[in-house]
Amino acid sequence: MNEKPSIKIIKRNTVETPAIHTTSQPKAQTDETRAERHVRREMVSTVANWISEKREQRRVEEISAIRKIFGGEPLLS
């Protein structure tokens, strides 16, 4: 049987942010943090898409296997 690829999810403890945000941060630093957040959002979106595509693919494979077993009768429609 095919081996399922494993996806490891790492949960991080929440980091407390200071109650007062100073505006004295250099612009380059804020741009870097925005870029990092953007990259993280893209990665999360990509992984979410992979998971949903894998689920759809698995469902199609299951239906195909059932049709092969029962001679292609539309049992799941």
Per-residue pLDDT tens digits of the chain, which is 77 residues long: 467 777 777 777 765 555 555 555 567 678 888 889 999 999 999 999 999 999 999 999 999 998 888 886 555 55
Burial class, 72, CB count within 10 angstroms (exposed 0-12 / middle 13-18 / buried 19+): exposed
**For 1-77, where are the alpha helices, taking DSSP H only?**
27-69
Alpha-carbon distance of 38 to 11, in angstroms, equals: 19
Tell whether 16 is covered by a domain: no
Q: What residue numbers bound the domain in which 47 lies? A: 31-72
Tell whether 77 is covered by a domain: no
Alpha-carbon distance of 30 to 61, in angstroms, equals: 46
Query: What pTM was estimated for this model as a whole?
Result: 0.46
How many domains does the chain divide into? 1
CB of 66 within 8 A of CB of 75? yes
Tell whether 48 is covered by a domain: yes
Tell whether 39 is covered by a domain: yes
Tell whether 36 is covered by a domain: yes
Tell whether 7 is covered by a domain: no
